[in-house]
Amino acid sequence: MSLKRIGVFTSGGDAPGMNACIRAVVRGGIYHNVEVYGIKRGYDGMIKGNIYPMDSHSVSNIVQKGGTILKSARSMEFMTPEGRKKAYQQLKNFDIDGLVAIGGNGTFTGAKIFYEEFGIPTVGCPGTIDNDLYGTDFTIGYDTAVNTALEAIDKIRDTADSHNRVFFIEVMGRDSGYIAIQSGISGGAEIIMVPETRTSIDDVIETLEKGKLKHKTSAIVIVAEGDEEGNANQVAAKVKEKVSDLDIKVTILGHIQRGGSPTSKDRILASRTGLAAIEGLVQGMKNVMAGVVNDEVVYVPFEDTITKHKPISDDLIRLAHVLSI
């Protein structure tokens, strides 16, 4: 059965580049004679029938914009069978027979269950700043988020240096240390704490002490929000407890990392995976995510993106360690 009309939505945390992805889905649909409907606010909008037709013009002038014109949400109702049934009925009302979901693993888990229950095929695009999805080298929004974090780290280093201070900077990433390791290495951080590898409070203190011996007067410690020693406030408090004479400050970069105009790299990744998603759907694919590995578009089963962990390369961890001595 060939698809006539599909729905596209963004779900979970927004990420810079989602708009470029929506644009590619809509224009790819037009190219393949498939009608594309936008679903607002993710699964919530699907349940409520917040659905409207999109044309080439509806995605004009958005490739450069952060956020998502379709808005996003984390839907509790879609997690229930009743919620999914309502969503299915809405899709039937609108004659929608396939979906492109731009989001992360929570989004794909919902899409997989939805297919098992109602047979609506979904192809996903990796939309999250966390870069935590197995099956793609990078996720949409990650590059922009790293550059946003890096700009902030560079600025903090100026003031850290002027005041001889130790700054603990918390970056996002949920359970993944990708944003931390990449922004930390490129920002020349003295210490980078990520969930993927253990850095104890004693390790932190030892590195700071060594720095002092080398006449370093300030230091930057990047703390991934999911680190096992705790968040930046907790890590800073533990360090302060043991070395009371340090002048310590904490900065939590927070949601600033989710906004802003996407980098060229994110726009290209978003455009490639958006087109690949609609083309995959047209070819009859389902329950897969379009990703890019070694600069080639690939389709990875949701089963793998959901169950498999994407590790940080040992090479990056080693690089961070060697450069911080």
Residues involved in catalysis: 130
In angstroms, the CA 178 to CA 196 distance is: 9
Choice between 178 and 302, CB closer to ligand F6P: 178
Residue 306 CB-density burial (10 A; 0-12 exposed, 13-18 middle, 19+ buried): middle
CB of 320 to ligand F6P, least distance (A): 20
In angstroms, the CA 64 to CA 19 distance is: 8
Cβ–Cβ < 8 Å for 266, 141: yes
Residue 114 has φ and ψ, to the nearest 5°, of -60, -40
What's the residue count for the chain? 325
Residues 224-243 that bind ligand F6P (CB under 6 A): 225
Positions of E strands within the chain: 5-10, 35-39, 51-54, 98-103, 122-126, 166-171, 191-193, 219-224, 248-252, 288-293, 296-301
Choice between 13 and 29, CB closer to ligand F6P: 13
Q: What angle do CA 242, 254, 130 make, to 5 degrees?
A: 100
User: Which residue has 């002038």 as its token pair?
Assistant: 61
Hey, what amino acid is at 3?
L
Q: Taking CB under 6 A as the rule, which mask of x and - marks residues 111-150 in contact with ligand F6P?
A: -----------------xxx--------------------
Choice between 199 and 257, CB closer to ligand F6P: 257
CB of 38 to ligand F6P, least distance (A): 22
Return the CA Rg of the chain.
Answer: 22
Q: Does 310 bind ligand F6P (CB under 6 A)?
A: no
User: Which residue has 């006449």 as its token pair?
Assistant: 215
Q: Which of 108, 185, 184, 103 is nearest to 139 (CA)?
A: 103
Choice between 59 and 270, CB closer to ligand F6P: 270
CB of 255 to ligand F6P, least distance (A): 6
Residue 288, helix vs strand vs coil: strand
Choice between 91 and 171, CB closer to ligand F6P: 171
Cβ–Cβ < 8 Å for 21, 140: yes
Residue 182 CB-density burial (10 A; 0-12 exposed, 13-18 middle, 19+ buried): buried
CB of 32 to ligand F6P, least distance (A): 31
Q: Taking CB under 6 A as the rule, which mask of x and - marks residues 154-193 in contact with ligand F6P?
A: ------------------xxx-------------------
CB of 74 to ligand F6P, least distance (A): 6
Q: Taking CB under 6 A as the rule, which mask of x and - marks residues 12-31 in contact with ligand F6P?
A: -x------------------
DSSP lists the bridge partners of residue 122 as: 99
Considering only 71, 157, 258, 286, the residue that binds ligand F6P (CB under 6 A) is 258
Choice between 117 and 175, CB closer to ligand F6P: 175
CB of 10 to ligand F6P, least distance (A): 12
| Residues at the site binding ligand F6P, with contacts judged by CB under 6 A | 13, 128-130, 172-174, 225, 258
